[in-house]
Amino acid sequence: MYYAIFATDRPDSTDLRLQTRPQHRAYLRDMTAHPEVSVIHGGPTLAEDGETMNGSMLIVEAPSLAAAETFAAGDPYRQAELFAACEVRPWAWTLGRPDAGE
């Protein structure tokens, strides 16, 4: 099943985000760190200026909500307490799915 992970940065946390970004990106790519969870899509959310990063959004494939939540909890951004909030929700991929034959 697919899950959407929505995270919002704490105010004035740009420096922490930039310092932690290499570890965050390595975690997302390291399948040995989370063998049950595959990252499908992801990237930072942006402020209205279109440049300032203010959160993260990921789509992951996982066997359960618990597995997706464990994956989110292991993210170095989360470990560094970058996020003011982080929510994991089941997600139905209905548009643009490669195997949908659209």
Q: Is residue 44 part of a domain?
A: yes
d(CA 3, CA 59): 6
> For residue 101, is it within any domain?
no
CA separation, residue 40 to residues 3, 47, 94 (Å): 10, 23, 14
Of 67, 60, 64, 69, whose CA–CA distance to 29 is shortest? 60
Task: Please tell me the total count of domains within the chain.
Answer: 1
Write out pLDDT tens, residues 36-66. Answer: 999 999 999 999 999 999 999 999 999 999 9
Tell me the pLDDT tens digit for each residue of 4-39: 999 999 999 999 999 999 999 999 999 999 999 999
pTM: 0.91
CATH number of the domain residue 21 falls in: 3.30.70.1060
The rounded distance, in Å, linking the Cα atoms of 7 and 38 is: 18
Let me know if residue 97 belongs to a domain: no
- 72 lies in which domain range? 2-91
